[in-house]
């Protein structure tokens, strides 16, 4: 067992005196815990162990490949940001895997070492609280067809959802709904489930998240009862799995899902899936699964339009059962300002109504502006990567296409790096997203760009001024 594995088993990253890297790591760890909360931290991040730090690269380890992948997928950007704040510059964080057996030996879990990522998966399950909840997730009473507002951006998805709720649709099998966060995927999926339950209760429906599918699968593996697991999934008429992006990169779970998928399709059972991207754009999906997901209909839920947002606000207000009157100009104001996500839009309306009820005062444009100032400020500051690329190209007298091209000449590459740096500094986009926006580059290229710009800004006053000017222009 290595020294680091030993530390890990002890459960704390005990720090050698005078080790500056370990010090930096302790600060990152502490901030991480405050930011994600104790429960999440304990569940996913407590096992992170410091390995080394050499000023440009921080190496940390996790007990299993599964935990490593999880932490990397979900926390890479957060950790990058924290490390950057604490160390004052961009640091590459590398996640390694320690010998998983050392942790497993501590847990009372029997496992078969045969399946390649399963023992690692099981290590996680062992530390998660068990609950004996039924397979199907509970449905939210508000997510029904009659309070789903239809507009151009979602009409195809809506029409397809209605169809599969009515009965088996071979042409729409599978139905794959995809779109950004908060655009109504879960709402539509659950509306289908509600409708089937009410109109054709003899059709057996199973609705659950891909995350839950994975845990059920792991649990079945652990208790060596995959037969029951398989039966549960193969005995349904309609299988709905929400947020399929979750199983990307999880090979064993994908394999199991693939088999279930095939069995159900062969038996003419309806499958409905959702994800944040189309099958073609999902990364970490096995090719054969990717191609099958495209067999039926892929319906894109587009970002909302002003009209749709206004319609949604009106419907939500009608459903609220409140005496509070929200003037049309306030509704228009909200629909104009809060554009990215329906959940936020709803949240804003809820806040206004709740406060008006509480203090017994009317909602007005002024009170709305005042009460939502924090949210609106965040929106006002929202800079897009497109804005950044345009500004930077203009500033350096380049073509917009130079921002995404493969050209490496310094006159082009340097401004492109500046743009990547600004994208990380001024937007909430993740490193992989930024890479993709810059001509499909890898996230490590983005990290390199950020480091380079930070370094140059300390050495090269002209470049530092360029960056400051651009930052100012983009911020207001
Ligand atoms: P997603 O699953 O795509 O992230 P949700 O389905 O959870 O998004 O939707 C987020 C919130 O926005 C929910 O409260 C949902 O009711 C609401 N919402 C989204 N689109 C619509 C719509 N077209 N009509 C009514 N409500 C909507
Ligand atoms: Mg959802």
pLDDT band at 70; cut points 50, 70, 90: confident
**Ligand 1: nearest atom to the Cα of 142:** 16
Looking at the CA of 302, name the nearest ligand. Answer: 1
420 near 434, Cβ under 8 Å?
A: yes
Q: Rounded distance, CA 322 to CA 357, Å?
A: 8
Give the Å distance between the CA of 62 and the centre of ligand 1: 36
pLDDT at position 184 is: 96
77 near 431, Cβ under 8 Å?
A: yes
334 near 345, Cβ under 8 Å?
A: yes
Higher pLDDT, 7 or 205: 205
**Ligand 1: nearest atom to the Cα of 179:** 3
pLDDT at position 18 is: 52
Percent of the chain beyond pLDDT 90?
52
Report pTM. 0.62
Q: Is the pLDDT of residue 153 over 90?
A: yes
For the Cβ of 189 lying below 6 angstroms from any atom of ligand 1, the answer is no
Mean pLDDT (the chain, rounded): 84
**Among 75-89, 280-294, 297-311, whose mean pLDDT is lowest?**
75-89
For the Cβ of 183 lying below 6 angstroms from any atom of ligand 1, the answer is yes
Q: Rounded distance, CA 200 to CA 210, Å?
A: 25
Q: What is the pLDDT of residues 346-366, one digit of tens each?
A: 999 999 999 898 888 889 999
- What is the secondary structure of 215-244 as a DSSP string? HHHHHHHHTT-HHHHHHHHHT-SEEEEE-G
For the Cβ of 224 lying below 6 angstroms from any atom of ligand 1, the answer is no
Cis peptide before 174 (omega within 30 of 0): yes
**Among 54-58, 334-338, 459-463, whose mean pLDDT is lowest?**
54-58
Looking at the CA of 303, name the nearest ligand. Answer: 1
pLDDT at position 43 is: 79
114 near 262, Cβ under 8 Å?
A: no
pLDDT at position 112 is: 30
- The average pLDDT across 83-93 equals 82
- The average pLDDT across 147-161 equals 96
Q: Is the pLDDT of residue 474 over 80?
A: yes
Q: Name the closest-CA residue to atom 27, ligand 1.
A: 184
For the Cβ of 181 lying below 6 angstroms from any atom of ligand 1, the answer is yes
Give the Å distance between the CA of 341 and the centre of ligand 2: 12
For the Cβ of 182 lying below 6 angstroms from any atom of ligand 1, the answer is yes
Higher pLDDT, 427 or 274: 274
For the Cβ of 343 lying below 6 angstroms from any atom of ligand 1, the answer is yes
Q: Name the closest-CA residue to atom 25, ligand 1.
A: 148
**60: β partners:** 50, 95
- The average pLDDT across 421-427 equals 91
pLDDT at position 397 is: 94
Residues in the chain: 476
The secondary structure element, H or E, covering residue 19 is none
SS3 content of the chain, % helix, strand, coil (to 5): 60, 10, 30
184 near 154, Cβ under 8 Å?
A: yes
For the Cβ of 391 lying below 6 angstroms from any atom of ligand 1, the answer is no
Q: Rounded distance, CA 473 to CA 476, Å?
A: 6
pLDDT at position 237 is: 95
**Among 18-32, 56-70, 96-110, 255-269, whose mean pLDDT is lowest?**
96-110
433 near 390, Cβ under 8 Å?
A: no
Q: Name the closest-CA residue to atom 9, ligand 1.
A: 184
Give the Å distance between the CA of 282 and the centre of ligand 2: 16
pLDDT at position 381 is: 65
CA angle 52, 55, 59 (to 5 degrees): 30
pLDDT at position 115 is: 35
**Ligand 1: nearest atom to the Cα of 187:** 6
Higher pLDDT, 264 or 224: 264
DSSP designation for 302:
P
Name, in order, each residue with C-beta under 8 angstroms of 396's C-beta and a sequence gap of 6 or more: 411, 415, 418, 466
pLDDT at position 6 is: 34
Higher pLDDT, 131 or 229: 229
Q: Name the closest-CA residue to atom 21, ligand 1.
A: 184
For the Cβ of 184 lying below 6 angstroms from any atom of ligand 1, the answer is yes
Sheet holding 49-53, edge to edge: 49-53, 57-62, 92-97
Give the Å distance between the CA of 182 and the centre of ligand 2: 7
Q: Name the closest-CA residue to atom 5, ligand 1.
A: 184
- The tokens describing 422, both together, are 């600004």
Q: Rounded distance, CA 302 to CA 155, Å?
A: 10
Give the Å distance between the CA of 159 and the centre of ligand 1: 16
For the Cβ of 152 lying below 6 angstroms from any atom of ligand 1, the answer is no
Give the Å distance between the CA of 189 and the centre of ligand 1: 10
Phi, psi (deg, nearest 5) at residue 177: -100, 130
**Ligand 1: nearest atom to the Cα of 183:** 3
Give the Å distance between the CA of 330 and the centre of ligand 2: 28
Q: What is the pLDDT of residues 91-144, one digit of tens each?
A: 888 888 774 333 232 232 323 332 333 333 333 333 333 333 367 888 899 999
Give the Å distance between the CA of 392 and the centre of ligand 2: 35
Looking at the CA of 316, name the nearest ligand. Answer: 1
- The average pLDDT across 444-472 equals 93
332 near 310, Cβ under 8 Å?
A: yes
Q: Rounded distance, CA 18 to CA 134, Å?
A: 52
Q: Rounded distance, CA 220 to CA 428, Å?
A: 38
Q: What is the pLDDT of residues 235-284, one digit of tens each?
A: 899 999 999 999 998 989 999 999 999 999 999 999 999 999 999 989 88
Q: Pick from 55, 49, 58: which is nearest to 11 by CA? A: 49
For the Cβ of 342 lying below 6 angstroms from any atom of ligand 1, the answer is yes
**58: β partners:** 53, 93
**Ligand 1: nearest atom to the Cα of 150:** 23
- The average pLDDT across 174-187 equals 95
Q: What is the pLDDT of residues 372-402, one digit of tens each?
A: 888 887 776 678 899 999 999 999 999 999 9
pLDDT at position 182 is: 92
Give the Å distance between the CA of 192 and the centre of ligand 2: 14
Our mutation pick for probing the ligand 1 site, out of 179, 183, 320, counting the most ligand atoms within 8 A of Cβ, is 183
């Amino acid at each position: 067992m290595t020294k680091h594995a030993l530390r890990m088993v002890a459960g704390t990253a005990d720090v050698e005196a005078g080790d500056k890297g370990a010090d930096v790591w302790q600060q990152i760890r502490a901030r991480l815990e405050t930011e994600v909360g104790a429960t999440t931290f304990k569940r996913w991040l407590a096992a992170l162990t410091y390995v080394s730090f050499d000023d440009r690269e921080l190496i940390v380890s996790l007990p299993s490949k599964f935990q490593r992948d999880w932490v990397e997928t979900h926390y890479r950007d957060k950790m990058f940001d924290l490390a950057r704040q604490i160390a004052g510059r961009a640091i590459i964080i590398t996640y390694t895997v320690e010998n998983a057996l050392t942790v497993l030996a501590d847990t009372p879990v029997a496992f078969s070492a045969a399946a390649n990522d399963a023992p690692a998966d099981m290590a996680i399950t062992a530390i998660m609280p068990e609950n004996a909840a039924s397979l199907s997730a509970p449905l939210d009473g508000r997510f029904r067809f009659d309070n789903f507002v239809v507009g151009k951006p979602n009409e195809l998805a809506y029409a397809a959802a209605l169809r599969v709720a009515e009965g088996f649709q071979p042409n729409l099998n599978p139905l794959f709904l995809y779109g950004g966060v908060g655009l109504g995927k879960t709402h539509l999926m659950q509306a289908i489930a509600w409708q089937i339950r009410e109109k054709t209760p003899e059709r057996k429906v199973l609705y659950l998240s891909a995350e839950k599918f994975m845990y059920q699968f792991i649990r079945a593996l652990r208790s060596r009862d995959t037969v029951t697991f398989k039966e549960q999934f193969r005995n349904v008429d309609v299988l709905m799995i929400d947020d399929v992006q979750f199983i990307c990169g999880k090979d064993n779970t994908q394999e199991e899902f693939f088999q279930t998928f095939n069995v159900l399709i062969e038996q003419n059972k309806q499958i409905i899936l959702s994800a944040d991207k189309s099958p073609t754009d999902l990364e970490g999906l096995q090719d054969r699964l990717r191609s099958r997901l495209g067999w039926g209909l892929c319906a894109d839920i587009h970002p909302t339009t002003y009209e749709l947002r206004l319609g949604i606000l009106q419907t939500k207000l009608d459903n609220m059962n409140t005496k509070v009157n929200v003037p049309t100009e306030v509704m228009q104001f909200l629909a104009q300002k809060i554009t990215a996500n329906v959940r936020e839009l709803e949240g804003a309306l809820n806040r206004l109504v709740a406060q008006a009820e509480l203090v017994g005062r009317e909602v007005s444009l002024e009170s709305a502006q005042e009460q939502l100032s924090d949210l609106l400020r965040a929106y006002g500051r929202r800079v897009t990567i497109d804005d950044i690329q345009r500004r930077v190209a203009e500033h350096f007298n380049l073509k917009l296409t130079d921002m995404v091209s493969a050209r490496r000449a310094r006159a082009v590459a340097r401004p492109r790096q500046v743009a990547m740096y600004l994208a990380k500094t001024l937007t909430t986009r993740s490193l992989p997203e930024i890479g993709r926006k810059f001509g499909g580059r890898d996230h490590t290229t983005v990290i390199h760009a950020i480091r380079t710009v930070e370094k140059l800004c300390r050495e090269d006053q002209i470049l530092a001024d360029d960056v400051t000017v651009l930052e100012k222009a983009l911020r207001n």
